[in-house]
């Protein structure tokens, strides 16, 4: 199959892309579309700014350049940077703007994918793009739909005290997180860990769920779906400063230095035992938030 994966340029997006490519790149023709859009709300207060600094800024401006300089042809690490993924799998990657633009629509038509997978992509898909793949356009939303629509759903799951965080595999429609559901992958919430850590685990649960359903698509059939119960829908915007503060005051953490270094170590061949780890640690100067 020809598969278009749409994802975001940041730490969680790169880790999710690694997991996806490991499961499909060896037997399918993959094209990766990247986005890099930061909401105003993501830098509107000190908590949000700290979160996006760890999630995106330090990764794109320091960590990945450091890794690409050390391993210009990729490495044997479990996870790779975007450049490392291109070297490992030979997949093309392009940074696009909004999917509603004529250029993006034409480019997707030229790719002519059998399926589109949207995982942590910044932009909403229009109906004319959704209809391009013969086997469907599917999203991975890091929240259990329909109860947790909107932004930063793993934070909302932790804020609610949920035991698990769900990542919903669903068929995209023209709404926002409103399409019919295929399945939900679940990750146990680790409250001793940070929101960022649980974010990544939530995406992994959704990707593993997609990979379990992949044989149906490989047989040339669309995935069966069930409509969402609209009466259960709850939409959440990006957390406010007050919501972040209340979460932290109750003992929660958006980012923990140990978690952060653990995630980054996955990009090193020897992980936490790698000789480059101290240099990597000095680069990030990660602060708890």
CA–CA separation, 82 and 64 (whole Å): 8
Whether 149 and 233 have beta carbons less than 8 Å apart is answered as yes
Q: Is 129 exposed, middle or buried (0-12, 13-18, 19+ CB in 10 A)?
A: buried
- Are residues 82 and 9 in contact, defined by beta-carbon separation less than 8 angstroms? yes
Spatial contact of 134 and 114, defined as CB atoms under 8 Å apart: yes
pLDDT for position 288: 67
Segment 183-205, tens digit of pLDDT: 999 999 999 999 999 999 999 99
pLDDT, tens digit, 9 for 90 and up, residues 55-87? 999 999 999 999 999 999 999 999 999 999 999
The pLDDT score that the predictor gives to residue 46 is 95
Residues 6 or more apart whose CB falls under 8 angstroms from that of 13 comprise 7, 34, 119, 120
Q: Virtual CA dihedral for 263, 212, 132, 27, nearest 10 degrees? A: 80
| Rounded CA separation 19/71 (Å) | 20
Which H or E run contains 22? helix 11-24
pLDDT tens per residue across span 206-239: 999 999 999 999 999 999 999 999 999 999 999 9
C-beta of residue 7 within 8 angstroms of C-beta of residue 119: yes
| Residues 128 and 108: beta-carbon distance below 8 Å | no
CB contact at 8 A, 114 and 4: no
**3 touches 28 (CB < 8 A):** yes
CB 44 within 8 A of CB 241: yes
Give tens-digit pLDDT for 259-284: 999 999 999 999 999 999 999 998 88
Contact 139, 172 (CB under 8 A): yes
Q: Which 3 state secondary structure label does DSSP give 86?
A: helix
Going along the chain from its start, the domains and CATH numbers come out as 2-284 (3.40.50.170)
């Amino acid at each position: 199959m020809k598969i278009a994966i749409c994802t975001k340029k940041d730490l969680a997006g790169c880790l999710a892309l690694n997991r996806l490519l490991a499961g499909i790149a060896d037997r399918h023709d993959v094209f990766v579309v990247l986005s890099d859009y930061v909401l105003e709300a993501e830098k509107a207060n000190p908590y949000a700014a700290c979160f996006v600094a760890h999630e995106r800024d330090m990764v794109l401006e320091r960590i990945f350049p450091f890794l690409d300089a050390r391993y210009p042809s990729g490495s044997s690490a479990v996870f790779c940077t975007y450049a490392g993924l291109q070297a490992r799998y030979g997949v093309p990657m392009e940074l696009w703007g909004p999917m509603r633009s004529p250029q993006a629509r034409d480019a997707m038509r030229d790719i002519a994918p059998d399926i589109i997978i949207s995982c942590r992509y910044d932009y909403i898909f229009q109906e004319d793009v959704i209809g391009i793949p013969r086997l469907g356009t599917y999203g991975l939303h890091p929240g259990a739909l329909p109860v947790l629509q909107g932004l930063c759903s793993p934070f909302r799951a932790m804020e609610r005290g949920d035991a698990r965080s769900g990542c919903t595999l669903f068929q995209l429609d023209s709404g926002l997180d409103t399409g019919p559901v295929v399945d939900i992958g679940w990750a146990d919430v680790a409250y001793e860990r940070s929101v960022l850590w649980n974010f990544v685990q939530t995406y992994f649960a959704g990707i593993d769920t997609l990979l379990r359903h992949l044989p149906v698509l490989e047989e040339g059939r669309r995935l069966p779906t069930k409509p969402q119960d609209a009466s259960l829908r709850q939409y959440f915007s990006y957390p406010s400063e007050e919501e972040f503060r209340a979460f932290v005051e109750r003992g929660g953490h958006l980012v923990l230095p140990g978690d952060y270094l653990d995630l980054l170590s996955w990009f090193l061949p020897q992980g936490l035992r790698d000789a480059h780890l101290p240099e990597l640690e000095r680069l990030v100067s990660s602060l708890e938030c």
